[in-house]
Amino acid sequence: MFRRSAPHRHGTLALAGVTLAGLLTAATPALAAQDRASDPVNAAFAEAADAYQVPRDLLVAVGYGETRLNDHDGAPSHARGYGVMHLVDNPGHRTLDAAAEATGLDAAELRTDTAANIEGGAAVLRAYADALGLTAPDRADLDAWYPVVARYGGAEQDATARLYADTVYELLADGLSAVVGGEETVTVDPTTVAPERGEYAGADIGALSEDYPPALWAPAHSANFATGRTEAIDTVVIHVTQGSYAGSIAWFQNPDAQVSAHYTIRSSDGEVTQSVRDRDTAWHARSGNPYSIGIEHEGWVDEPSWFTDAMYRSSAALTRHLADKHGIPLDRQHIVGHVEVPGNDHTDPGPHWDWDYYMELVGGDPGDPGEPGPPALDFPAYDTLRDGSTGAQVTALQYLLNQNGQNAGTVDGQFGPSTAAAVRGFQTAKGLDADGVVGPRTWTALLSAGATTTVREGSSGEAVSRLQRALTAALGRTVDVDGQFGPNTGAAVKEYQADRGLDADGVVGPATWGALQSGR
């Protein structure tokens, strides 16, 4: 989305004691001639670069390194970064606020409007340049901007800041081309660079020798993982970062993140960085954390272009190493996606991840990869789903339909014709209105399906978990799913029984199970 062509509204930005006000001029007439209608992103980069005296190619390379110039319809990254320039709003890094102050633009506009977002990124880069004392001749020198770029990434550690800035300068050296909006192409021609690293010259990420020698080592903050393990390692979990490689590593170093992964893999060349030791518990998959190792892959689940052959091969080599080291079976019960770990609500690695190819590279049998574990089934509420719905709850729906004899097709989180047909088949079998829409009654019947073992207060196990999920759907309020039939579950059972005209004794026997499994 692009905002109207309007005069820049420059505000005031103070960074490190430097004030940016009354300093910037409007775009030149030559830039005004750029065709905003047919080339809006190129025009936005040209105008922002001219107004804030930031090299245009540097501005593009920073954005491409963060997002490949995709605004993701205003959705935030894992680190709460927005737009093609990844303006960030998290406790440790607030370039979105800085951009709003510098430009006078509203934060909502900076988040969702591409031209505004690019202007905001340029304003922040210029403010950092002023804070670092870059003069007008310095600003004309691409190599002098290296420390500015390093700061823009928001890394807590100098070594990670260098990793971030090096990526941008590699893009400048190699050149880049990105198709945006389906038809416009933004390019940067290759150029010779000799970045002036300054304070970052001695900040280097050394090779890791303890766990996986080919990897770099950039430790996560101690607030973002637990020392040691409570269970043996028997699973590898495949993730997608929903953000950039260096940005994700930097986020793991932010004590406010409360997340981490053991390894992160770069899209362009398969470079690997380790952030948490194998022997420690990274926080990446909720219930799966104690027994798994998490591997993040740079990119976004809805953009298959991030999943390069270099990334697949590098990741597979790492997974094979981990399997050999920890005795992990090479099958899809033990090499799983984040979406397949019970108790999670994420969808990664998503429908574009090529599991057959990956398992072939790992060394498993692609013709007989085994069945993955069940996806996340536990949610605080169950949404109404229909054709066109996507996400973790659709994945759960598809899994349950397949488990109950209906062919929903591939469990991919996409509610299409196959899923709709399976829903109608299940509804018909249960005597429900066969409209293909999954509301409370269909959810209740699906979630409760299974053995009708009598359970009561003090019971535990899989049947209790099924009961708790079904009650959440039936009552329209959260019943915690922990597999333990305690007083809260008992109260929910009695509420359900009373509402359905059953004997409200808190005991779930054939009558109560029958009501649940018929979607009452």
Average pLDDT, stretch 3-15? 37
CA angle 440, 394, 353 (to 5 degrees): 170
DSSP for residue 12: -
Average pLDDT, stretch 152-162? 90
Tell me: pLDDT of 464 over 80: yes
* pLDDT reported for residue 2: 33
C-alpha 345/C-alpha 27 separation (Å) is 46
**β-bridge mates for residue 486, sequence order:** none
Provide the CATH number for the domain formed by 389-518 in this structure.
Answer: 1.10.101.10
Q: Classify residue 14 as exposed, middle or buried by CB count within 10 Å of its CB (0-12, 13-18, 19+).
A: middle
pLDDT band (50, 70, 90) for residue 23: very low
> What is the chain's mean pLDDT, rounded?
88
C-alpha 95/C-alpha 124 separation (Å) is 7
List where CATH 3.40.80.10 sits in the chain: 216-362
Best mean pLDDT range from 35-49, 113-127, 439-453: 113-127
CB 473 within 8 A of CB 443: yes
pLDDT tens track for 327-376 = 999 999 899 999 888 877 788 998 889 998 899 899 875 544 455 556 78
* pLDDT reported for residue 26: 37
pLDDT tens track for 82-110 = 999 999 998 888 999 999 999 999 999 99
* Structural fold of domain 216-362: Lysozyme-like (3.40.80)
C-alpha 348/C-alpha 77 separation (Å) is 13
* pLDDT reported for residue 374: 67
* pLDDT reported for residue 497: 96
CB 453 within 8 A of CB 509: no
C-alpha 267/C-alpha 66 separation (Å) is 12
What the block records as the tokens of 176 is 């880049």
List where CATH 1.10.101.10 sits in the chain: 389-518
What the block records as the tokens of 49 is 């670069």
List where CATH 1.10.530.10 sits in the chain: 39-200
C-alpha 273/C-alpha 213 separation (Å) is 10
With H, G, I as helix, E, B as strand and everything else as coil, classify residue 251: helix
Tell me: pLDDT of 6 over 60: no
Provide the CATH number for the domain formed by 39-200 in this structure.
Answer: 1.10.530.10
**Percent of the chain whose pLDDT exceeds 90:** 69
Place of tokens 């892959």: 297
C-alpha 492/C-alpha 488 separation (Å) is 6
Q: Which residues of 62-93 are buried (b: 16+ CB within 10 A; e: fewer)?
A: bbbbbbbbbbbeeebbbbbbbbbbbbbbbebb
